[in-house]
Structure 1
Amino acid sequence: MMKRHLYRASVLAALALALTGCDKKSDAISEAKKADNAAVIDAPSIEQVKAIAEEGFVYGLPIVMNYAVMYEYSVDKESGQYKAPFNQIHNEARVFTYEDTAVVTPNSDTPYSILWLDLRAEPIVLSVPPVEKDRYFSVMLCDGNTFNYGYMGSRSTGNEPGDYLVVGPNWKGETPAGIKKVFHSSTEFSAVAYRTQLFNPQDMPNVVKVQSGYGVQPLSAFLKQPAPPAVPQIDFPKIDKEMVKTGFFDYLDFALRFAPAGPEEKEIRAKLASIGIGPGKTFDFKDLSKEHKAAVLLGMKDATDKVEKAVEGIGKTINGWGVYTAFGDRAFFNGDWLLRAAAAKIGIYGNDAEEAMYPKCRQDADGEALDTSKHSYTLTFAKDQFPPVNAFWSVTMYDGKSQLLIKNPINRYLINSPMIPNMKKNDDGSLTIYIQKDSPGPDKEANWLPAPDGPPYLILRMYRPKTEAPSILPAGDGSWQPPGIVKAI
């Protein structure tokens, strides 16, 4: 027991020196020997711990947010948001409403099919059916690092049927016959989000038909071979919004067990390990002194402020809309953990820019904060100036504080392009959307987007944005710009 204690002290002392910028090996060894002689564990300094906690919170926020969703969807059957066990798809024959609270800013355009993969035992084969060419669908692969590591669907692979293989970070093998493409998850658990376009409420049976064609099976079953040995069961720690406040780094520590570090993660992982978090740690986080734990809380607070500031400053503000691109694969983020954290706060599981753009809005055209408890607003698209897309677009309303869909008397959470034929256009061919908490009257209700009794938050979704002019791409510099929201009264 004493030998292990001395070993921890030795390694920790060397790591502590590394964190202060000392790169002389002899100095590190000398200090390690001192720690051995003292037979005590010396954690990094208070200042170092605070800095590591701040950096670690920014790095770990999307990872912990993702774990919380996974826990609600595929672990805790009593969560109220449970969908299905791992490696079983759950099809929603509906769009999301205010009752769906596990994920912030959910879309209410496309009925979801939701799948969480456990890739520890073997790869999983995903199959997609033939889909009529005018119906948009996408299958987004997003791992525990919130890296979008692959797509199937209208844009990426077409609307033809096919079989695709998803493998974990440690898998090595040849592409089996009959598999169109192999996708590599950087973590052992991974989310798969299916979005299938719904044209109108009467179209739901057709969506259900497409959803019934989504297939999931282990590679061994696809190859008609014996299954590999079962993997150990995991005791997943319970998580909720309150528990995260006090146990954030405990959840990060757990999640990192299933996520081998990429090259750009090694530095932050070493820092986290030095305060007892993640694989390779030299002692338990709970062994930190009260002063060190207080420094962790201060670091988390500063990190939270930094992330919120990043959310507000992301991209360019155009006519009150924030136009940005913040979602992608490992190469897209390239170690920019603040961008990744801001993206998760804006709306975790967002698409790559090529798949969808998400201009966001909390202010009117004059830069004044929106408040639908006091004012009514309008959003007008000029004739022939609708969002330029190859699929469809929508404007979705959320509560400005929770970023969740809001309960309203007409059960309308968005206005999208398939609804235009049933909406009233202005004499000049333009289209005005009424953004307010109360009905604008029977003659305008078809164009009403119900708002909360307080600050609203709007997202303009553009599925498969056009790349040729007019286009919103590249983000912030495109030739098409969203029109500003105007205060009516």
Structure 2
Amino acid sequence: MSANTGLPGRLGSVVMDGELPRREEIATIFDELDYQLATQAYLWALPLVSYAQWSAVHRDTFGAGPGDLVHYSGYADRLGIITANATTPYILNFFDLAETGPLVIELPAGPTAGGVSDFWQREFGVLGEMGPDRGEGGKHLIVPPGEQPPADIAGYHVLTSTGMNIMFGFRTLDPDPARSKALVDGVRIYPYARRDDPPPTRIVAPDGKRWSGGQPRGIDYWARLHEIYQSEIVDERDRFHLAMLHQLGIEKGRPFAPDERLTCILTEASAAGELIAQANSFAKRFPGARWWPDRSWDHVLQLENSAQRAEHYDELLERAAWFYEAVTFSAAMNSQTPGLGQAYLGAYTDAAGAWLDGGRDYTLHVPADPPAKNFWSITVYDAATRCLIDNPQARGDRGSRDAELLRNDDGSVDLHFGPQAPAGREANWVQTLPGKHWFSYFRLYGPLEPYFEKSWKLGDITAV
């Protein structure tokens, strides 16, 4: 006796032989298993592939080596960074500690904010004003995982990395361009083994090159994942996911050579995984994600800490949500202390719940006295790339530091988004692109009590 399973999806067509599938159906069932494994592995690997891709851009597109730093200064430089701040320069690079051994980072004295994270984007060290040197400058020694620090570490701030591949990045906080440049030029990075004769640290610029730090699509996603895992340690918490990768032909010491069947499955799973990632990021269903119940603004960062670890589980979907739409994490980005760090709110829909459309006009009312000790800004991102909107205006943000911003008599601000500037309101307008969806981050730098108490309430992005 034969019958279909009645299951949804691909397995619904499987023909049964009594209580078991027909032998001819076994290949279809295993195809579905591999597809499901790949879809889940896609979500799990998002932060790792993101950094691996960005690192490859530094190496292959910018020509940055292990003794260099890449300086993203202008708007065009930052167009490939996922949800970059539109106004703050970034200085960073990626390093393989298996190649460098223990790594020295020298910071000059001055106002800087920096950090070091592994390729799972877990920050394991804070540098600069918030670090152990307190902005006074100093030498930081990064020790590879599983290694003991060298015997002679007097004068070093020692950090043990949680991964073999790391990112070091920092920002200068001095508003004076000349002093800021001097701080950038004063940073030195070199292997500890060359401490007696350290090579110079070169500053590299994107120089107008087109690039993307977003996770690649299709089979390229899996090729990048395979490449990075050849030089990465295995965390105990990831061993079941690595069993999934093993089934998909991704393993240490084994070439990635998927056959036609597996290539098709991985390509489909990459597309499905991204679709799920989009929903997981742009329509968050985490408890408490909606900051104000009657507004369309989400609290973007759902991770509890840099370790991505809640009390009883590791934050798989929270991590996937953030690292699909953004890069890097630090405690300062999810401030719980009034006046310190930053707060991030995200809007992906208008007041009516529709995706934000680049061909339509919208307004946003920012009430008076936004609760920010330092400043606030709102930035527009392309939904497909999650990067700054690449518009003819060559600008994707507006904020309280814009001297030309038009303010209402009560101190509130009305902002405009759309393909064309409203007459006389160019100073408050961000240009969007017809045919493309967009989303926005509203950032508060030094969020104050009315933000945490939710007594100050931002308006919705509203279609005109």
Instruction: Give the TM interval when normalised to the shorter protein.
Output: 0.7 to 0.9
Indicate the residue corresponding to 1:140 in structure 2: 115
Q: Would you say the 8 A contact 1:189–1:258 is kept in 2?
A: yes
Alignment of structure 1 residues 149-188 onto 2, 5 Å? 149-157=124-132, 158-173=134-149, 176-180=153-157, 182-188=158-164
Indicate the residue corresponding to 2:23 in structure 1: none
Structure 1 residue 306: Cα displacement: 2.3
Structure 1 residue 408: Cα displacement: 4.5
Alignment of structure 1 residues 89-238 onto 2, 5 Å? 89-92=69-72, 94-97=73-76, 100-120=78-98, 121-132=100-111, 137-157=112-132, 158-173=134-149, 176-180=153-157, 182-197=158-173, 199=175, 203-222=176-195, 224=196
Structure 1 residue 101: Cα displacement: 4.1
Cα distance change, pair 332–429 in 1 and its aligned pair in 2 (3 A): same
Alignment of structure 1 residues 454-465 onto 2, 5 Å? 454-465=436-447
* Correspondent of 1:306 among 265, 276, 281: 276
Indicate the residue corresponding to 1:230 in structure 2: none
Indicate the residue corresponding to 2:346 in structure 1: 360
Structure 1 residue 71: Cα displacement: 0.7
| DSSP-derived class of the 1:364 partner | coil
1:433 pairs with 2:412: no
Cα distance change, pair 55–486 in 1 and its aligned pair in 2 (3 A): closer
1: CA distance between counterparts of 2:223 and 2:231?
A: 14
Indicate the residue corresponding to 1:316 in structure 2: 290
2: CA distance between counterparts of 1:240 and 1:348?
A: 9
2: CA distance between counterparts of 1:357 and 1:308?
A: 22
Residue segments in structure 2 that go unaligned for 5+ positions in a row: 1-26, 200-211, 336-340
Structure 1 residue 119: Cα displacement: 1.4
Cα distance change, pair 310–55 in 1 and its aligned pair in 2 (3 A): same
Which amino acid is the alignment partner of residue 269 of structure 1? Answer: L
Residue segments in structure 1 that go unaligned for 5+ positions in a row: 1-41, 228-238
| DSSP-derived class of the 1:367 partner | coil
Cα distance change, pair 259–326 in 1 and its aligned pair in 2 (3 A): farther
Cα distance change, pair 252–371 in 1 and its aligned pair in 2 (3 A): closer
2: CA distance between counterparts of 1:429 and 1:383?
A: 5
1: CA distance between counterparts of 2:400 and 2:103?
A: 36
Which amino acid is the alignment partner of residue 382 of structure 2? Answer: D
Alignment of structure 1 residues 466-477 onto 2, 5 Å? 466=448, 469-472=449-452
Indicate the residue corresponding to 1:398 in structure 2: 381
2: CA distance between counterparts of 1:295 and 1:208?
A: 49
Alignment of structure 1 residues 215-364 onto 2, 5 Å? 215-222=188-195, 224=196, 244-279=217-252, 286=257, 290-291=260-261, 293-314=263-284, 315-316=289-290, 318=292, 319-326=295-302, 328-332=305-309, 335-352=314-331, 353-354=334-335, 355-364=341-350
2: CA distance between counterparts of 1:198 and 1:441?
A: 36
Identity of aligned residues (%): 21
| TM-score of the pair, normalised by structure 1 | 0.73
Deviation digits for residues 195-254 of structure 1 (CA, Å, limit 9, x no counterpart)? 23475xxx43232122222232322344x3899xxxxxxxxxxx9989741243232222
| DSSP-derived class of the 2:190 partner | strand
Structure 1 residue 46: Cα displacement: 3.2
Indicate the residue corresponding to 2:13 in structure 1: none
1: CA distance between counterparts of 2:186 and 2:296?
A: 41
Which amino acid is the alignment partner of residue 64 of structure 2? Answer: A
Cα distance change, pair 310–291 in 1 and its aligned pair in 2 (3 A): same
Structure 1 residue 166: Cα displacement: 1.8
Structure 1 stretches (4+) deviating beyond 6 angstroms?
A: 239-243
Cα distance change, pair 293–432 in 1 and its aligned pair in 2 (3 A): closer
| DSSP-derived class of the 2:356 partner | coil
1:69 pairs with 2:54: yes
Cα distance change, pair 241–329 in 1 and its aligned pair in 2 (3 A): closer
1: CA distance between counterparts of 2:75 and 2:198?
A: 39
2: CA distance between counterparts of 1:141 and 1:478?
A: 32
Across the aligned residues of Structure 1 and Structure 2, the Cα RMSD in angstroms comes to 3.3
2: CA distance between counterparts of 1:226 and 1:457?
A: 45
* Correspondent of 2:42 among 26, 51, 57: 57
Which amino acid is the alignment partner of residue 388 of structure 1? Answer: A
* Correspondent of 2:368 among 375, 379, 383: 383
2: CA distance between counterparts of 1:436 and 1:226?
A: 51
1: CA distance between counterparts of 2:213 and 2:128?
A: 33
Q: Would you say the 8 A contact 2:450–2:456 is kept in 1?
A: yes
Structure 1 residue 326: Cα displacement: 4.1
Deviation digits for residues 32-79 of structure 1 (CA, Å, limit 9, x no counterpart)? xxxxxxxxxx9x943432232122222223222221111111x21xx3
| DSSP-derived class of the 2:113 partner | strand
Cα distance change, pair 410–322 in 1 and its aligned pair in 2 (3 A): same
2: CA distance between counterparts of 1:312 and 1:457?
A: 9
1: CA distance between counterparts of 2:365 and 2:461?
A: 8
| TM-score of the pair, normalised by structure 2 | 0.76
1: CA distance between counterparts of 2:89 and 2:213?
A: 25
| DSSP-derived class of the 1:412 partner | coil
Cα distance change, pair 204–461 in 1 and its aligned pair in 2 (3 A): same
| DSSP-derived class of the 2:80 partner | coil
Cα distance change, pair 177–109 in 1 and its aligned pair in 2 (3 A): same
